[in-house]
């Protein structure tokens, strides 16, 4: 996309070059120009009426359906490049846009359009001195999204940010560049068709590592940065950003099968949590099994994993049971308990109590999603209360930690921190609070 070079004062560019001497000038110009354009566009987007925002979202959904073949053509280039690079089947699955997923993109925008707009929600009260105070929800501002090979994030991030009155600067990965470019061009077309500035959405097309640091330090332009991807990306952003950031995504998720679990149900849930989409952050990475049920449960579970090509990395007790049952497995290392595989690999450990399971999860988990399979209400409550995670399940799969599944229309990320937002982040989490105070000449004494 052509960007207006005069969006930044030349003196500002020289100042930026001094701050990032090792970053190519072309990269700096793109990052800061698009960030500046997003900030300017926010003045318009932040005051749009709900009806207008919904019209844009519905228009974008319609255009996505209309241009499905163009989207698939662009995505095929990314898929071919991914295969040449040797991306795993799981990562290629995250990258793929087929007819069903393209329909899902359009439907997500329609779902967001149907949701209640949080902007303007609030309450009002009067103080004894006569001051009237209103507390209202307002847009955050300009949101920077840094994410990996998931082109659906491009659409979800725009839809949620825009409905909440924000503008976005998107920096996807090189693996999904062609897909991201066509999707952003479609969204821009919808914006322009409805008379709204196209700079409500901006894609950083320099998908090299060089573009990340300037973006997460563009404090003059961005109000929030959200990294969405692997643990390495999230760690880099959290440790290096000067723009406020929200820690999201990294998911070392566990399923604990308690001593009184229904074995058939437990096998079904663990299978879903691990194999339905192994390369996503809410997929299970570690299976914990109570010692009292391990001899019955693990052979049944190992049979399913063997059929689906899941590599099992086991502690000493689970390894003995699984090998005795005739299935292949390998010993787990200490590193396995702290690894997000994002692949058809699972670590397995036998524990002697719900307390031991909770302790293991709180030691190695990433505060994302955890599940217990049990018929014991007391243990279920203990597990939910004492496990430190954004989402804690009883008798169901961790795969439900998703904005769409939770009724948010879509999500901009899953926060694993505790301030401002936690768990799947929808519209409400993309707003902040503003106080409006009305007086009649009062002064403080």
Q: What is the pLDDT of residues 72-120, one digit of tens each?
A: 999 999 999 999 999 988 789 889 999 999 999 999 999 999 999 999 9
Question: Which two tokens mark 217?
Answer: 């330090």
Q: What pLDDT does 402 receive?
A: 87
Q: Is residue 232 part of a domain?
A: yes
Range of the domain at 362: 253-405
| Chain position carrying tokens 């082109």 | 151
pTM of structure: 0.83
Strands 423-424, 391-394: pairing kind: unpaired
With cut-offs at 50, 70 and 90, classify the pLDDT of residue 12: confident
Q: From CA 412, how far away is CA 424, in angstroms rounded?
A: 8
Average pLDDT, the chain: 93
**In the chain, pLDDT over 90 holds for what percent of residues?**
83
Whether 240 and 280 share a structural domain: no
Q: Is residue 153 part of a domain?
A: yes
CATH of residue 336: 3.40.309.10
300 burial (CB, 10 Å; 0-12 / 13-18 / 19+) is: middle
Q: Is residue 444 part of a domain?
A: no
Reply yes or no on whether the pLDDT at 281 is more than 90: no
Total number of residues shown for the chain = 445
Q: What pLDDT does 417 receive?
A: 80
| Chain position carrying tokens 């318009």 | 44
Q: What pLDDT does 89 receive?
A: 85
State the helix-helix crossing angle for 68-85 and 99-114, rounded to 10 degrees: 120
Could you tell me which residue, 350 or 148, shows the higher pLDDT? 350
Whether 93 and 217 share a structural domain: yes
User: pLDDT tens digits, residue range 255-268?
Assistant: 999 999 999 999 99
Q: What pLDDT does 2 receive?
A: 47
Q: What pLDDT does 6 receive?
A: 56
Question: Which two tokens mark 389?
Answer: 């995670």
Whether 366 and 218 share a structural domain: no
Q: What pLDDT does 7 receive?
A: 66
Whether 344 and 371 share a structural domain: yes
CATH of residue 79: 3.40.605.10
Q: Is residue 368 part of a domain?
A: yes
Q: From CA 376, how far away is CA 379, in angstroms rounded?
A: 5
- Number of structural domains found in the chain: 2
For residue 337, give the DSSP letter.
G
Whether 241 and 223 share a structural domain: yes
CB within 8 A of 268, min separation 6: which ones? none
Q: Is residue 411 part of a domain?
A: no
Whether 210 and 307 share a structural domain: no
Q: How far is CA 96 from CA 63, 66, 68, 204, 231, in A?
A: 19, 18, 13, 21, 22
Whether 24 and 150 share a structural domain: yes
Reply yes or no on whether the pLDDT at 1 is more than 50: no
Whether 298 and 179 share a structural domain: no
**In the chain, pLDDT over 70 holds for what percent of residues?**
98
232-243 average pLDDT score: 90
> Sign of torsion, CA 249 279 411 210?
positive
Q: Is residue 417 part of a domain?
A: no
- Any idea which of 199-208, 234-243, 328-337, 413-422 has the lowest mean pLDDT? 413-422
Whether 204 and 333 share a structural domain: no
Whether 239 and 267 share a structural domain: no
Could you tell me which residue, 47 or 407, shows the higher pLDDT? 47
Q: Is residue 442 part of a domain?
A: no
Q: Strands (DSSP E) along 292-374, which ranges?
A: 311-314, 330-331, 345-351, 369-373
Whether 312 and 388 share a structural domain: yes
The H or E element that residue 261 is part of is: none
Reply yes or no on whether the pLDDT at 185 is more than 70: yes
Whether 227 and 166 share a structural domain: yes
Strands 391-394, 369-373: pairing kind: parallel
Q: Is residue 416 part of a domain?
A: no
Q: What pLDDT does 249 receive?
A: 67
Strand partners, 51: none
Count CB-CB contacts under 10 A for residue 130: 11
Alpha helices in 86-203 (DSSP H): 89-95, 99-114, 152-163, 177-193
Q: From CA 37, how far away is CA 432, in angstroms rounded?
A: 22
Reply yes or no on whether the pLDDT at 138 is more than 80: yes
User: pLDDT tens digits, residue range 377-400?
Assistant: 999 999 999 999 999 999 999 999
Q: From CA 121, how far away is CA 138, in angstroms rounded?
A: 8
């Amino acid at each position: 996309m052509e960007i207006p070079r005069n969006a930044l004062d030349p003196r500002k560019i020289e100042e930026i070059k001094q701050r990032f001497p090792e970053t190519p000038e072309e990269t700096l110009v793109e990052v800061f120009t698009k960030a500046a354009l997003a900030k300017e566009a926010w003045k318009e987007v932040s005051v749009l009426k709900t009806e207008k925002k919904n019209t844009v979202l519905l228009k974008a959904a319609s255009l996505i359906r209309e241009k499905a073949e163009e989207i698939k053509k662009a995505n095929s280039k990314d898929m071919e490049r991914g295969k040449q690079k040797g991306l795993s089947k799981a990562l290629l699955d995250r990258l793929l846009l087929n007819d069903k997923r393209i329909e899902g993109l359009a439907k997500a925008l329609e779902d967001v359009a149907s949701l209640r707009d949080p902007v303007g929600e609030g309450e009002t009260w009067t103080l004894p001195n006569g001051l009237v105070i209103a507390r209202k929800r307002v847009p955050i501002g300009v949101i920077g999204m840094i994410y990996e090979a998931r082109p659906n994030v491009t659409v979800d991030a725009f839809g949620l940010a825009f409905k909440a009155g924000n503008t976005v600067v998107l920096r996807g990965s090189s693996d999904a560049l062609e897909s991201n470019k066509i999707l952003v061009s479609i969204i821009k077309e919808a914006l322009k068709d409805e008379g709204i500035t196209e700079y409500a959405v901006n894609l950083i097309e320099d998908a090299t590592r060089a573009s990340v640091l300037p973006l997460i330090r563009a404090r003059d332009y961005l109000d929030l940065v959200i990294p969405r991807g692997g643990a390495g990306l999230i760690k880099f952003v959290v440790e290096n950003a000067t723009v406020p950031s929200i820690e999201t995504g990294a998911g070392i998720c566990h399923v604990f099968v308690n001593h009184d679990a229904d074995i058939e149900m437990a096998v079904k849930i663990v299978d879903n949590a691990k194999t339905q989409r192994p390369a996503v952050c809410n997929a299970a990475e570690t299976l914990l099994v109570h010692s009292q049920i391990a001899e019955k449960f693990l052979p049944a579970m190992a049979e399913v994993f063997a059929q689906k090509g899941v590599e099992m990395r086991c502690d000493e007790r689970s390894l003995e049971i699984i090998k005795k049952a005739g299935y292949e497995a390998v010993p787990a290392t200490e590193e396995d308990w702290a690894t997000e595989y994002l692949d058809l690999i699972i670590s397995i450990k036998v524990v002697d109590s719900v307390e031991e399971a909770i302790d293991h999860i709180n030691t190695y988990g990433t505060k994302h999603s955890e599940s217990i399979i049990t018929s014991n209400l007391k243990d279920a409550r203990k597990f939910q209360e004492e496990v430190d995670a954004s989402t804690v399940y009883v008798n169901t799969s961790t795969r439900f930690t998703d904005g769409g599944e939770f009724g948010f229309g879509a999500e901009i990320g899953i926060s694993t921190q505790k301030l401002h937002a936690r768990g799947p982040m929808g519209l409400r989490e993309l707003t902040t609070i503003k106080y409006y105070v009305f007086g009649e000449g009062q002064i403080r004494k």
